[in-house]
Amino acid sequence: MSLRLGRHEFADDATLMMAIVNRTPDSFYDQGATWAEDKAFERVSLVVAQGAEMVDIGGIKAAPGVEIGAAEEKERVVDFVARVREAFPQLVISVDTWRAEVGGAVCEAGADVLNDAWGGADPELVDVAAQHGAAIICTHTGGATPRTRPYRVEYDDVVRSAIDDTVAYAERALAAGVAQESIVIDPAHDFGKNTFHSLELTRRLDEMVATGWPVLVSLSNKDFVGETLGLPVGERLTGTLAATAVCALAGARIYRVHEVVETRQTVDMVWTIAGRRPPQRAIRGLQ
């Protein structure tokens, strides 16, 4: 399926790098490195230079912490979205929010995508996306409350649950008026899941791809990688890229990442092996 992300269109064989830009002082990975607006803007400039087609701007970390209301979340992201939109008109701007109020404000500022990491916690978010012609990312969290950690979550079949919930969310967005080519599903590794669940979703991601909806994966430096390898945040790149390769082979279309260059090379190599992408050049044995 081709993708239309706000004002941007991509062919049905395109893979996209969505670079993470945290407007928070306490994110698990960068520990506030892009909390200051100018630092965040430098990060955007860097990832664009590295080839990222998208940025995902977030104003609240996913983990529990200080309560951040809608007004403060908007202060963190709305003007920044407008600044990025003006500087990079060809860049796809996504905002990581579950709140319809915030979603409307960032779309007015120039955002193309609403990345609902909390699985429809605010049911009006789909209406906001439809009103503004924005794309929406439909995640699976097993009904988790925003900014809570999973505890002894059980599924009869986590992949079946992820498919059923994300497809239902996608169909609800479609009914609300979001364009079919502007709807993406995401199994949401680690969200509402333990490590075994996230590994199962990775292993069977082809089942989500088979739904026909474009699939996004957010694997970068996640806890399931760290727990699998016994490694802390900051030492999980190799494991992240291994999981990325598996998801790429299955056909994931969008990759939410910290490391743009390494992920792009991994995805391109796998897609070429899979026969979905030609080599950049092929002269060996021909000259």
Which residue has better confidence, 28 or 229?
229
Q: Around 228, how many Cα atoms within 13 Å sit in the side-chain half-sphere?
A: 22
Domains and CATH numbers, the chain: 3-273 (3.20.20.20)
Instruction: Select from 185, 191, 157 the least CA-distant residue to 171.
Output: 185
pTM of the predicted structure, to 2 decimals: 0.96
From the list 79, 131, 122, the residue with the least C-alpha distance to 101 is: 122
For the cut 90, the answer to whether the pLDDT of residue 85 exceeds it is yes
The pLDDT score that the predictor gives to residue 27 is 79
pLDDT of 32: 83
How many angstroms separate the CA atoms of 211 and 178, rounded? 18
Determine the residue type at 23: R
Q: According to the model, what pLDDT value does residue 198 have?
A: 98
pLDDT of 66 over the 90 cut: no
Judge whether residue 28 has pLDDT over 80.
no
Band (272; pLDDT cuts 50, 70, 90) = very high
Cα dihedral 214, 185, 270, 246 sign = negative
What is the spatial distance between Cα 243 and Cα 223, in angstroms, rounded to a whole number? 12
Per-residue pLDDT, 2: 87
Local confidence band at 63 (pLDDT 50, 70, 90 cut-offs): confident
